[in-house]
């Protein structure tokens, strides 16, 4: 089996996600299809021995010609609303390509957690009308598309979606807030005179509208225009749903307005004696347009935040060559290029600082609010903002290989994956559609059997269809998904699998890998003891000067500790190694020796009692001990070990506050593990664990009935990450660990673990609230719309039903937006 990604923007402009999946799945040899509306692509798994990518492309194009032509021809309903991510709503936004032959282009799957790695990209189909588009996830291309849109240049299909992450709430394929906004305002302008000249409204409010020749036709004519212009989008949506055999909310709305429209014209022509429903029809369409406009604005606001990052990439970069500086397009950059990033500029590509020092604002990528100091050898991330210093960086990643692009891919994948709550909402929405149609038919029949007037019965039926639309139910979960995924990404929490985030609320045990997760994975001076004639800072200054000439990991740890404390490192003279014992050098005109216990024996060094006691304590914790010696006497002792991250203490305290136990896995000796566990307050320690046994330790806790999360960063952690109920990978770690995790931490900050649980609990709470509101609303609304309280004079008009239905949608949207207030 082979897996490829096919661009299907043209199909999505006229077909629902389910219909696209169904049609591609009908191609012989295709095993599975998953459509990502956010990216405008379909992930296709197929038997490469039976067909090739070109065969799938050809089949897709044929299906577009067979079924999509009528809808494609309608700019207003299909393409008018397509906008690039982050593009301001405008009715004049450039349209997406409507050329069917270019609808399907193929690219290999980017390594972002898909089931299998695919082969190199196939040769583009020579018959394609336009070049094969580059992947939509590329931030550089996203930025370029945005700029093209601003200049009203032709747009590529991959930038056309303004409705990202809304895969399963697919009644709005091809729509935009601008389209609904424009239709709403015009429909409202036409509806006002319809309502004003309505005989029913005049009687109800006790006024008389002016009469003139043709005034009786104001309602029929203007309401018909509203039906055709404003209602067309619902009718086309219903047609797509019925063609896919998946009737939904568009079907209900279309049934309601079509019944009202046809019934009113029958009355208008005098075929039956009843009251026409012109003002009800016009107000119903107008209110529906308003509700959809509000809904889509909420969705776009939730989706647009992350994609705004793409616009942070500059158009050009300053490349340094042998001939000097030159301005080049960001798309022309290659790995190894040397770039100049001036103060205040955006970093154009991922890279490594080769010269200079500055503070970089990485908040838009990692969520870290404080600028991060960057020196020679430090990594920088594309789209981050340089501070006051000037940097020369060597490019290490461009285009889709930047961290920004990877983040956007992970977010798109997360929004594509369905949680259990989403499956529940999907089933409930489809069931409610069937119930609503049945209830409407029963309502019409019952009122007719009771002898009610036909216009009364039709109004009851229309009201049931309108008020029962599973609008809020369809929006309840997807909007929360979009907001929570984006909120997590902006705080350095990348959700690769929605189910992982959903299950995080149930965790009761978190296992940390020690090295590189709870600790820095680098040596540092973790404890010191000095003689009376020295201060700790002075002792560390002298030691760092001596060890600055050495490349030994422990020596580098001492130097790094001094740098972290802002201690100026002095120059050392006459540095020499004492084989097997340590080193010696002159600092400030005085000779010092540094080394371990072997140095003490050889040089017969005198060690003061307080230093000896500190050395023994360090040894009991499994820490290396280094002595600073002058004239045969020890002046200081340095306990060197893998330093604990300062953030680890806060992380574990926060987990304990949430009632979660903490365990630690490490291959280190028991004494070292116990020392770290004691300092951090860890509940359970697994020491001297071989790499292959890490997954077994996870299973051991799972057999005790615990819900386990595993946090790791290395290749050896991947099996344990995959075994745990939730795998959380440190983003700075090995790629294989990232691939195995459900959630990725961009910042490598253990304090993000409690934040994940906070986000999970808040997200689930909002999902449940929205589902209860959406479902509970219909339990009361349908009987009320059917007229069960008519005996008491309580009746709802279709317009009031539309208001209530739209109100429920707005409540769900507002409730989902409140998720943004959660403090992570």
Strands 684-686 and 391-397: unpaired
- Rounded-to-integer distance, Cα 584 and Cα 484, Å: 57
- The answer for residues whose C-beta is within 8 angstroms of residue 632's C-beta and 6 or more apart is 603, 604, 605, 606
CA–CA dist 471, 302 (Å, integer): 18
* 3-class SS of residue 260: helix
Q: Cβ distance 708 to 698 under 8 Å? A: yes
Provide the β-strand partners of residue 587.
590
User: Which listed residue (337, 350, 497, 513) is catalytic?
Assistant: 513
Which two three-digit tokens encode residue 763?
A: 């997200």
Burial class (CB in 10 A: 0-12, 13-18, 19+), 711: buried
Among residues 369, 330, 321, which one has the least CA distance to residue 350?
330
Burial of 678 (0-12, 13-18, 19+ CB in 10 A): exposed
Distances (CA, A) of 666 to 121, 185, 672, 685: 41, 64, 9, 8
Asked if residue 306 lies in contact with residue 315, where contact means CB atoms within 8 angstroms, the answer is no
How many Cα atoms occupy the beta-carbon half-sphere of 295 within 13 Å? 28
User: Residue 264 has which token pair?
Assistant: 């009113």
Q: Are strands 582-587 and 573-578 parallel, antiparallel or unpaired?
A: antiparallel
Is 204 buried (19+), middle (13-18) or exposed (0-12) by CB count in 10 A? exposed
**What is the number of other CB atoms lying within 10 angstroms of the CB of residue 419?**
23
Contacts of 451 (CB under 8 A, 6+ apart): none
Phi-psi region of 86 (alpha: psi -120 to 50; beta: other; left: phi over 0): left
- Going by C-alpha positions, the residue among 150, 92, 158, 260 that lies closest to residue 797 is 260
Q: How far apart are CA 815 and CA 819, in angstroms?
A: 7
Q: What are phi and psi of 526, to 5 degrees?
A: -100, -15
Strand ranges (E), 645-678: 661-665
SS3 content of the chain, % helix, strand, coil (to 5): 50, 15, 30
Residues constituting the chain: 824
Query: For residues 58 and 100, what is the distance between their CA atoms, to the nearest angstrom?
Result: 11
Q: State CA 374 to chain mean position distance.
A: 27
* N-term to C-term CA, the chain: 42
**Dist CA 569 CA 543 (whole Å):** 9
| Stretch (H or E) spanning 501 | helix 498-503
Whether 359 is a known active-site residue: answer no
Q: Which two tokens stand for residue 789?
A: 């309280």
Cα separation, 629 vs 615, whole angstroms:
14
| Helix axes 278-307 and 454-467, enclosed angle (nearest 10) | 10
Q: Kindly give the residue spans of alpha helices, DSSP state H, lying in 380-497.
A: 403-416, 420-449, 454-467, 471-490
φ/ψ (deg, to 5) at 242: -70, -35
Determine contact, residues 630/591, Cβ cutoff 8 Å.
Answer: yes
Which has the closest alpha carbon to 419: 168, 792, 250, 711? 168
Active site amino acids: 513
């Amino acid at each position: 089996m082979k897996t490829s990604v096919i661009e299907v923007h043209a199909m999505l402009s006229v077909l629902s996600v389910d219909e696209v999946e169904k049609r591609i799945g009908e191609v012989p040899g295709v095993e599975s299809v998953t459509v990502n509306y956010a990216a405008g692509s379909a992930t296709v798994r197929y038997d490469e021995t039976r067909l090739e990518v070109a065969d799938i492309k050809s089949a897709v194009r044929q299906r577009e010609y067979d079924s999509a032509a009528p809808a494609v021809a309608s700019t207003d309903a299909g393409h008018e609303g397509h906008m690039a991510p982050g593009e301001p709503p405008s009715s004049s936004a450039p349209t997406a390509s409507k050329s069917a032959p270019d609808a399907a282009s193929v690219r290999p799957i980017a390594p972002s957690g898909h089931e299998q790695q695919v082969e190199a990209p196939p040769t583009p189909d020579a018959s394609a009308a336009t070049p094969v588009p580059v992947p939509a996830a590329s931030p550089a291309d996203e930025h370029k598309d945005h700029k093209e849109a601003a200049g009203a240049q032709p747009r590529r299909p991959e930038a056309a979606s303004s409705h990202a992450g809304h895969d399963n709430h697919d009644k709005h394929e091809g729509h935009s807030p601008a389209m609904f906004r424009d239709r709403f305002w015009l429909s409202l302008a036409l509806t006002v005179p319809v309502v004003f000249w309505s005989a029913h409204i005049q009687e109800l409010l006790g006024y008389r509208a002016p009469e003139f020749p043709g005034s009786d036709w104001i309602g029929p004519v203007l309401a018909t225009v509203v039906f055709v212009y404003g209602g067309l989008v619902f009718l086309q949506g219903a047609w797509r749903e019925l063609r896919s055999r998946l009737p939904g909310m568009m079907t209900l709305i279309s049934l309601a307005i079509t019944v009202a429209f046809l019934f009113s014209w029958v009355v208008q022509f005098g075929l039956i004696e009843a009251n026409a429903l012109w003002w009800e029809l016009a107000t119903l369409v107008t209110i529906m347009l308003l509700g959809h406009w509000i809904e889509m604005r909420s969705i776009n606001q939730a989706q647009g935040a992350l994609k705004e990052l793409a616009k942070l990439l500059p158009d050009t970069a300053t490349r340094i060559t042998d001939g000097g500086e030159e301005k080049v397009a960001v798309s022309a950059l290659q790995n190894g290029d040397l770039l100049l990033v001036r103060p205040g500029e955006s970093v154009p590509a991922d890279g490594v600082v080769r010269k200079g020092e500055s503070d970089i604002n990485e908040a838009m990528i990692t969520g870290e609010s404080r600028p991060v100091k960057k020196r020679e050898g430090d990594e920088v991330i594309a789209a981050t903002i340089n501070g006051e210093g000037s940097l020369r960086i060597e490019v290490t990643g461009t285009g889709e290989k930047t961290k920004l692009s990877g983040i956007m891919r992970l977010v798109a994948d997360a929004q594509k994956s369905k949680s259990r709550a989403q499956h529940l909402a999907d089933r409930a929405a489809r069931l409610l559609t069937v119930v609503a149609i049945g209830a409407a038919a029963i309502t019409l029949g019952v009122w007719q059997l009771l002898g009610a007037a036909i216009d009364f019965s039709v109004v009851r039926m229309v009201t049931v269809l309108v008020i029962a639309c599973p609008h809020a139910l369809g929006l309840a979960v997807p909007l929360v998904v979009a907001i929570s995924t984006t909120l997590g990404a902006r705080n350095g929490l990348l959700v690769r699998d929605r189910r992982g985030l959903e299950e995080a609320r149930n965790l009761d045990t978190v296992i940390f890998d020690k090295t590189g997760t709870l600790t820095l994975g680098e040596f540092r001076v973790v404890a010191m003891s000095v003689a009376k004639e020295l201060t700790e800072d002075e002792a560390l200054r002298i030691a760092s000067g001596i060890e600055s000439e050495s490349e030994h990991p422990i020596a580098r740890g001492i130097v790094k500790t001094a740098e972290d404390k802002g201690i100026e490192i002095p120059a050392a003279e006459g540095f020499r190694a004492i084989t097997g014992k340590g080193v010696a050098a002159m600092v400030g005109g005085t000779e010092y020796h540094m080394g371990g216990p072997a140095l003490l024996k050889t040089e017969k060094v005198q060690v003061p009692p307080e230093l000896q006691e500190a050395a023994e304590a360090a040894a009991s914790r499994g820490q290396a001990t280094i002595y600073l010696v002058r004239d045969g006497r020890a002046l200081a002792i340095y306990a060197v070990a893998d330093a604990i991250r300062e953030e680890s203490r806060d992380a574990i305290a926060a987990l304990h506050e949430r009632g979660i136990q903490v365990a630690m896995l490490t291959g280190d000796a028991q004494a070292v593990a116990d020392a770290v566990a004691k300092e951090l307050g860890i509940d359970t320690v697994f020491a001297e664990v071989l790499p292959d046994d890490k997954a077994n330790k996870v299973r051991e806790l799972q057999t005790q009935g615990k819900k386990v999360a595993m946090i790791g960063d290395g290749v050896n952690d991947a099996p344990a990450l995959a075994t745990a109920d939730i795998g959380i990978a440190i983003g700075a770690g090995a790629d294989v660990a990232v691939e195995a995790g459900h959630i990725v931490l961009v910042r490598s900050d253990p304090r993000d673990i409690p934040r994940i649980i906070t986000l999970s609990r808040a997200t689930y709470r909002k999902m449940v609230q929205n589902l209860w509101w959406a479902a509970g609303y219909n339990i009361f609304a349908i009987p009320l719309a059917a007229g069960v309280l008519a005996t008491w004079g309580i009746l709802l008009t279709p317009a009031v039903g539309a208001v209530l239905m739209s109100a429920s949608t707005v409540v769900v949207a507002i409730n989902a937006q409140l998720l943004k207030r959660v403090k992570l």
